[in-house]
Amino acid sequence: MSAPLLRVRDLCVSFPARRGRAPVRAVDQVSFDIAPGQTLGLVGESGSGKTTTGRAILQLQAASSGSVQLLGRELTAMSGRDLRAMRRHMQFVLQNPYSSLHPRMTVANTLAEPLAVHRSVPRHAIPERVAELMTLVGMDPAVVNRYPHEFSGGQRQRIVIARALAVNPDFVVCDEPVSALDVRTQAQIVDLLQHLQARLGLSYLFIAHDLAVVRAVAHRVAVMYGGRIVELGNAAQVYENPAHPYTRNLLDAVPVVDPARQRALLAEAAADPDFRGREGEPGPCVFGTDHAATATAHWHDIAPGHGVSCRFWPPGAAPDSR
């Protein structure tokens, strides 16, 4: 196996809490690798720490501890010029294409800015590169002098992707890149991201709350809950053989495009499992025990490349009380 492009080890991010309370561990001991040209899907609910993980990797959020290595270089120890130089290799695409484009900047200026900042191409070559980027994301270069409000949500997201690709990155964090879009536009943007990956050899961290959205893009999938990764495996392992009850819960929540089956699913009187506590606090463990149980659960490798963190693993065994 080739060396990973991105290597994250024991990453922790804490936020100070109200006086007298312990800090909130938004990201807790997160570890994973992403190979060149591959996608890791990071899935979890609001508040699970997936966005903070993405921000901490990009050094937009300081890590409390742990290591983030991109292309073999440790990012957490870097600052200033060194870090700026590394930013050329890592870019991001956010959820809301309405707020992530400057409303008073034309598309041409939006795409030219990163090129100028990173001096990726000589000034006179910028217009040509901007046109090339537009074509790359399936847009007509003739519209570069328009403003964001003149485009649909899907077109805006294409522009956001073009901006991320302007500096030829190796790695892109896509944070819920399609969840604000219509389903048909979602499918088009997912296709575009896959096409760009095949053509440019990009690696993605693809963050989403919906396992179905990640299905088509991810080579590997990490499921996050309460700041921790509770299951990590190849896509086929996680989707076909989910080991953690929380993963199964996320899979069960995906609507089925079959009225009879979906009616039956909704009719199941199943008391809605409440995985979350009050806002901002980790909820109870999936087994109804307290969160501390999850926090002390050990990592079990259940197949090559597939692991789970669960106090009750293997099923039927006595709970791991360490």
Partner 1 sequence: MTDAPPPLLDVRGLTAAFGRAAPVVRDISFHVAPGEAVGFVGESGSGKSVTARAVLRLAPEGSPLVWGGQILYGGQDLLRLDEHAMRGIRGRRIAMVFQDPMSSLNPVMTVGAQIDDMLMQHMGLSRRAARRRTVDLLGLVGIRDPAMRADDHPHQFSGGMRQRVLIAIAVSCEPDLLIADEPTTALDVTVQAQILRLLMRLRRELGMALMLISHDFGVIAGMVERVHVMQGGEIVETGDVDALFAAPRHPYTRALLDAVPRLDARR
Binding site for partner 1 (CB under 8 A): 45-47, 152-153, 182-187, 209-213, 215-216, 235, 239, 249-267, 272, 275-276, 278-279
Cα dihedral 199/200/205/207 (nearest 10):
-50
**What is the rounded distance in angstroms from the CA atom of residue 202 to the CA atom of residue 91?**
11
Q: Which is nearer to partner 1, 112 or 221 (CB)?
A: 221
Are 121 and 180 contacting, i.e. CB atoms less than 8 angstroms apart? no
Write the CB contacts of 29 (distance below 8 Å, at least 6 apart in sequence).
Answer: 10, 11, 12, 66, 228
What is the phi-psi region of residue 45: left when phi exceeds 0, alpha when psi lies from -120 to 50, beta otherwise? beta
CB of 45 to partner 1, least distance (A): 4
Pairing, β 171-175 against β 65-70: unpaired
How many CB atoms are located within 10 Å of the residue 13 CB?
Answer: 23
* Shortest Cβ 74–partner 1 spacing (Å): 32
Placement of tokens 């109200």 in the chain: 18
> In this structure, are residues 202 and 37 in contact, taking their beta carbons and an 8 Å threshold?
yes
CB of 192 to partner 1, least distance (A): 14
Q: Say how far apart CA 155 and CA 140 lie, in whole Å.
A: 10
The gap between the terminal CA atoms of the chain, to the nearest Å, is: 34
Whole-number minimum distance, CB 252 to partner 1, in Å? 8
Measured from the CB atom, the residue of 22 and 267 that comes closer to partner 1 is 267
Could you tell me the smallest distance in angstroms from the CB atom of residue 126 to partner 1? 33
Angle between helices 107-117 and 126-136 (to 10 degrees): 120
Cβ proximity to partner 1, 38 vs 76, nearer residue: 38
Nearer to partner 1, 124 or 272 (CB): 272
Q: Can you tell me the distance from the alpha carbon of 36 to that of 44, in angstroms, rounded to the nearest whole number?
A: 24
The nearer residue to partner 1, 239 or 299, going by C-beta atoms, is 239
Closer Cβ to partner 1, 10 or 182, answer by number: 182
Say if CB 167 and CB 91 are below 8 A apart: yes
* Residue with Cβ nearer partner 1 (127 or 273): 273
